[in-house]
Chain A
């Protein structure tokens, strides 16, 4: 793992929705192979921030450089960038009219122009990695939430992504399915993938995070390694938040 290469560089980033100041003066650097977990109360801008990382939202000022590509509205390289940056959504967003295998191969085939045979081979490999090779020919609606989310992870991986973004990947899941998704994410972290995860799963955060980020009201309040973050956070707001979510 080369900690010196920055994969995501955010400098002075601001984002507005009309008059609402959604992200305020964000500075953040994520290095290659680093696992960053972002937490904070709802509406604090966590999702908005990572949605900026693959151009689902556009920032209004500041700089955002991802894997050497400057991201801004109208950037020509944005489609190439999205192929490098995978995104896993809270609501899975699998394509319901395609089988699991087709969900996994449509991106590589149509976007990267890879042959069907090769795309299917890759897809089956990744389904193996997320532990559901037997579900390849089913439709998403026939799978449980946890299985669907693992398919969604595999779909991103099939694009041979270099960065994976997770937007509350377990928030829409029934409690008994959360662990199967988190296990896959831990295994993915062990392969050295660069990951930015928005989640409230603090057990997962302790296990994999290199860096913890706490956001509130559109600002980054605290950036620290997990040992310090969980035992002795520097800001009072972060301490209160952790007390609330770790209380029970």
Chain B
């Protein structure tokens, strides 16, 4: 029992890990390294801008956030653009969830044709760039079916993300043990009852983390619809810059707004995850 080929006297402390390992494993050092890298990036950006003689005008930015005019308080272009982005993303995400669930159920069904259709859809969508998909919806399908640029962008985002979401659904559904299916069957539940009452409620906790990632991804990729001039955050940013030529300030601000929104979302969902974890 005692002899595992290690010759170490009983009761002696384990040898300390090497100095370099301890050095790099400490939190303080990690934070330090991180701060140095971020500082360097900021410094390079700043000196680069100085070098090209960029005229910083941060004082002109707040007017695009809010204004106090003679008629009273009003929101600036950036918050209005943010609300438009959120509306667009939420609509596209709900539609993507519906399509994604249908594709996942088709793929998991016993029908050979069902899974063939689902796989065909997935491969098609996954292998077309988002920008090309947007052009297809706007310039080709739009005129054919008579929908406007706003509908085209919602459909593009929904279809593109439904492919990834369907894989999240499929993985979440498959993560529920087969014994759950058998138990539900053995009390006489139909497949749809089994999904609704037994399988999907249990897959939620498997799906939450990747689904959050997907929402963040969707909010970010919604910026692409600015190329067909749909009113949202990035489009408003472009418009402001074409009026003011403050490209550095405005793009930094826009990037920060996206960052804040997606961070808030991630933090909110990680709380939700803890809640679901307790119930199990």
Which residues of A are at the interface with B, using a C-beta cutoff of 8 A? Answer: 54-56, 79-80, 82-83, 85-87, 89, 91, 93-97, 106-107, 110-112, 139, 141, 152, 155-156, 159
Contact = CB atoms under 8 A, between A and B. Distances in A.
B197 A106 contact: yes
17 contacts: A54-B186, A79-B189, A83-B187, A87-B186, A93-B180, A94-B183, A96-B202, A106-B187, A106-B197, A107-B189, A111-B187, A111-B193, A139-B279, A152-B183, A155-B183, A155-B187, A156-B187
A44 to B, nearest CB: 20
Contacts of B60: none
B179 interface: yes
List of 3 A-B pairs having minimum Cβ-Cβ separation, nearest first: A107-B187, A93-B183, A93-B179
Contact of B185 (A82, A112, A156): A82
Given A79-B190, A106-B197, A110-B193, A97 B280 contact: yes
Contact of A110 (B177, B183, B189, B201): B189
A13 B195 CA distance: 32
Interface of B: 177, 179-180, 182-190, 193, 197-198, 201-202, 279-280
Contacts of A85: 186
B22 to A, nearest CB: 39
A53 B280 CA distance: 32
A83 B193 CA distance: 14
A110 B195 CA distance: 13
Contact of A107 (B180, B188, B202): B188
A95 B176 CA distance: 11
A111 B189 CA distance: 6
Nearest to A109: B197
Nearest to A80: B188
A232 to B, nearest CB: 37
B186 A156 contact: yes
A55 B185 contact: yes
B185 A95 contact: no
A99 to B, nearest CB: 10
Contacts of A87: 182-183, 186
Contacts of A93: 177, 179-180, 182-183
Nearest to A140: B280
B202 A97 contact: yes
Given A97-B280, A112-B188, A141-B280, 20 more contacts: A56-B186, A80-B188, A82-B186, A83-B188, A85-B186, A87-B183, A87-B186, A89-B182, A91-B179, A93-B179, A93-B180, A93-B182, A94-B183, A96-B202, A97-B201, A106-B197, A111-B188, A111-B189, A139-B279, A159-B187
A236 B180 CA distance: 39
A79 B279 contact: no
Given A89-B182, A95-B198, A159 B279 contact: no
Contacts of B189: 79, 107, 110-111
A195 to B, nearest CB: 15
B179 to A, nearest CB: 4
Given A83-B188, A139-B279, A95 B193 contact: no
A141 B184 CA distance: 18
Contacts of B177: 93
Given A82-B187, A141-B280, A110 B182 contact: no
Contacts of A111: 187-189, 193
A83 B202 CA distance: 23
A231 B198 CA distance: 46
A83 B188 CA distance: 5
A56 B193 contact: no
